[in-house]
Amino acid sequence: MKPRPQLGKFVARASEGEAELFIYSQIGGGGFWSEGVTAAQVAAAIADCEKQGAKKLAIYINSPGGDVFEGIAILNCLKRFSGEKVVYVDGLAASIASVIAMAGDRRCMGSGAMMMVHDPSAFASARGVGTAAEMRAKAEDLDKIATAMAGAYAERTKKDESAMRTIMRAETWMTAAEAVELGFADETYQQDDEPDASALLSSPVFASFHNVPPTWLARAKTSAGLPGKTSPKEQETMKVLLAKLGLADSATEAQAVAMFDQLVGTSRKLIEITGAATEGQALGTVSAWKASHEKVAELNAKMQKIEADAAAVEVKALTDGAIKEGRAAPALRDWLLSQTPESLKAFIAASPPMHKAAREPEHKTDSTTLSAEEQEVCRKMNLDPKKFLEGKQKAINEGRVPDPQTFRSIAQPAA
């Protein structure tokens, strides 16, 4: 077997009818730590290999995963290769890299290799944080992506998608033998050397993993030339760094790297939005914006109070006028005061003046002010005409229609 390239590389080569692709990096455009492998690179390499007459394609994978959509595009590029495809997992096929591994007609796991499947994850928005609406939309997107990944696994493992979703949610890490047993691979092969895992551990992609096997982490540190135990000084330095990044002491190096990468991206975005030359100037601009916003909010609150006070004065004047003009009964005063000026004006406009007796009560108690009919009622029912009249006047003052039936409960029988 030809020598493998270094990690962090994508290599394509073809000779004597056979082509080789080495996906030895994270998937996607990369970022701070490596260039990454893109679908465009893979598509171009396959086209070139086919042009050279390749009928067989060997795909070697050692990748922590990365960009989901780039990975799905790579999977489809590989599927379109017309000849035989054999996948070799040399070190790690994690996350979307495990989906790419499903492209092989034969899928082979190295004796010390591992495969990991899990649910996809993402930031809420391009800003890193997000509103409730952005988070709900992102969750729906992630569910759709997870379904697509489960479908790719189910097609090759011959298991249903619900079973695939179960092991994805658990973030399942598989040894070579376990991958074969679960249908994610067809066979294993003996490796002469343990795969180099050190560069993979430093990838920010690892920050989203939860169940990385301790043996894998230890092997990664060993292959990177790191000591098995750090000195007290190194531990203290690491704690300070984690604290400055807002992380707990138990955070991994990969998580620290990912957070640093995120903060750098946020800083650049802040500079871009504000148009400032430096991060310090950008923060100053944001502070000025915040202070300006708070001042505007304070002025708005004062203006709203002035408007509310003016409305209350107007409503009181309208209410007093409506009662004085006989367009509303005094008993309605509290209700009138609770209205807005606009609604109160509409009410007054639609209310004709009430009978003069309703707005200018005449406190007469002479029975001669009763109608003939009312006097007849008092006589037949043996009611006191004076009290009957008082009840009538009270009803009119309250805006009610006076009638003998109402007064029957008010006026007492004459002595």
Burial of 113 (0-12, 13-18, 19+ CB in 10 A): buried
Tell me which residue of 83, 84, 88, 82 sits closest to 1, measured CA to CA.
Answer: 88
Reply yes or no on whether the pLDDT at 361 is more than 50.
no
Reply yes or no on whether the pLDDT at 144 is more than 60.
yes
Taking only the tens place, the pLDDT of each residue in 195-208 is: 555 556 656 666 66
Reply yes or no on whether the pLDDT at 272 is more than 50.
yes
Taking only the tens place, the pLDDT of each residue in 53-112 is: 888 999 999 988 888 889 999 999 999 998 999 999 988 899 999 999 999 999 999 988
Is residue 108 within 8 A of residue 89, CB to CB? The reply is yes
Which is more confident, 185 or 310?
185
Phi-psi domain of 326 (left: phi exceeds 0; alpha: psi -120 through 50; beta: other): left
Q: What residue ranges define each of the domains in the chain, with the CATH number in brackets?
A: 9-118+171-228 (3.90.226.10), 230-274 (no CATH), 287-349 (no CATH), 356-407 (no CATH)
pLDDT band at 176; cut points 50, 70, 90: very high
| Residues whose CB falls within 8 Å of the CB of residue 270, separated by 6 or more in sequence, listed in order | 276, 279, 282, 283, 286
Tell me which residue of 84, 105, 102, 85 sits closest to 93, measured CA to CA.
Answer: 102
Tell me which residue of 64, 6, 7, 10 sits closest to 207, measured CA to CA.
Answer: 64
Taking only the tens place, the pLDDT of each residue in 99-133 is: 999 999 999 999 888 999 998 876 655 555 567 78
Is residue 378 within 8 A of residue 385, CB to CB? The reply is yes
**pTM metric for this prediction:** 0.52
Q: Which two tokens mark 36?
A: 């990454």
Q: What is the pLDDT of residue 367?
A: 44
Average pLDDT over every residue of 365-373? 59
Three-state DSSP state, 253: helix
- C-alpha distance across the termini of the chain, in Å: 129
Average pLDDT over every residue of 208-220? 68
